Amino acid sequence: MPSPTCPKDVAVLVLNWNGLELLRSFLPSWVKFTPEEADLIIIDNGSTDGSVAFVQEHYPEVKLVAFTENYGFAAGYNKAIAELDYKTVVLLNSDVELSDGWLREPLELLSSDPSITAVQPTIRAQRSPQDFEYAGAAGGYIDSLGYPFCRGRILSVVEQDQGQYSTPVDLFWASGACLIIRRAAYLEAGGLDPVFFAHQEEIDLCWRLLARGGRIVYAPSSTVYHVGGASLSAESPRKVFLNFRNNLLMIYKNLPAPRLYTVLLLRVFLDFLAALVYLVKLQPRHCFAVLEAWRCFLIKRLRYERVRGDNLAKTTAQISPDLMKPYSIIVQYYLRGRKRYSQLPR
């Protein structure tokens, strides 16, 4: 199917693969709250559940790009963004509900400062609308060992949104649940890494954006509502595997030596401790998922040497300790009992 023309500057892109029920639930909010200055485009990844026919029959005004095969999450977005010539693109998960005016502040931030390359709105839980949502909350950071966390969500503790994060701030990473980004910056940084399959691919992309001198900013007055876990449950050993493996690959791709080797040495201890905890909790599949993540990382690391060299060669900016925190979130959470962002060291 031919790609739609691009008379507007902004495209809201929703990647779909056999997500007919999600389309039934969330497409009405996408249509209602996509502003006039943006095109809503469904990117279908070779669905076989009638998704394409549903959009064509019930929402003929919605633009549609239908691939003939499933390219996966990262490669699907990469292909679509390369083909669609918009200045700004929104990567929107298919289980996100929009709200009135959600795109206003992100677009204002992008237009106000050319150094801002990506923006994240406030992400709340669709099933518990006063709470932040796990995958993004009020914007993300990573600690000194590469573990990600958010304002409003430290490890498993999620806060209620009471306006405590009500000002725009710079972030280390913006959630892929709703990522507003300059298309040129996305393409220049290489887009999402298809090897990751799922989880933390947006953090890896944001790391590259920062290393090239870009900024990622939180837009507090913009709010979307994310279901989360629509593809993999938080209890899934597969999700444990992907999170650990992808996090290690991300660190290897982006962290300069000699710090890289110090971090990996400490991560061996902490990740194997996590595997032991899973075993003690009678979750052997989760334990083996951590061990398999390390095995897979050590194999794939050899194939990433050129990618790592390219990333480091294109690095033009030092990442601030305000974004890559100089402490361990594991120590702060488990040993010092600091389970809210406001309690962490400044």
Tens digits of residue pLDDT in 197-211:
888 999 999 999 999
Distance CA(66)–CA(47), nearest Å, equals 9
Which pLDDT score is estimated for 157? Answer: 95
Residues 201 and 246 in one domain: no
Q: In terms of residues, how long is the chain?
A: 346
Residues 144 and 259 in one domain: no
Which pLDDT score is estimated for 230? Answer: 46
Residues 197 and 242 in one domain: no
Residues 245 and 213 in one domain: no
Distance CA(147)–CA(158), nearest Å, equals 16
Of 226, 245, 279, the residue at which a domain comes to its end is 226
Residues 18 and 147 in one domain: yes
Of 202, 226, 250, the residue at which a domain comes to its end is 226
Which pLDDT score is estimated for 234? Answer: 56
Is residue 5, in this structure, part of any structural domain at all? no
Q: What angle do CA 325, 204, 91 make, to 5 degrees?
A: 115
Of 182, 197, 226, the residue at which a domain comes to its end is 226
Asked whether 8 and 37 are in contact (CB, 8 A), the reply is: yes
Is residue 153, in this structure, part of any structural domain at all? yes
Residues 98 and 143 in one domain: yes
**Residue 236, Cβ density class (10 Å: 0-12 exposed, 13-18 middle, ≥19 buried):** middle
Number of Cβ within 10 Å of residue 122's Cβ equals 27
Residues 132 and 256 in one domain: no
Average pLDDT, the chain: 94
Residues 249 and 291 in one domain: yes
Which pLDDT score is estimated for 197? Answer: 84
Distance CA(118)–CA(209), nearest Å, equals 9
Residues 143 and 15 in one domain: yes
Backbone phi, psi, residue 177, to 5°: -65, -35
Residues 105 and 245 in one domain: no
Is residue 231, in this structure, part of any structural domain at all? no
Residues 169 and 52 in one domain: yes
Number of domains the chain is built from = 2
Q: Considering only CA atoms, which of 100, 11, 116, 114 is closest in space to residue 64?
A: 11
pTM to 2 decimals? 0.94
Is residue 232, in this structure, part of any structural domain at all? no
Distance CA(291)–CA(227), nearest Å, equals 29
Residues 185 and 302 in one domain: no
Is residue 69, in this structure, part of any structural domain at all? yes
Which pLDDT score is estimated for 183? Answer: 98
Distance CA(24)–CA(177), nearest Å, equals 18
Range of the domain at 333: 237-343
Which pLDDT score is estimated for 5? Answer: 60
Low-confidence ranges of the chain (pLDDT < 50): 1, 230
- Specify the 3-state DSSP secondary structure of 123: strand
Q: How is residue 165 written in tokens?
A: 């994060």
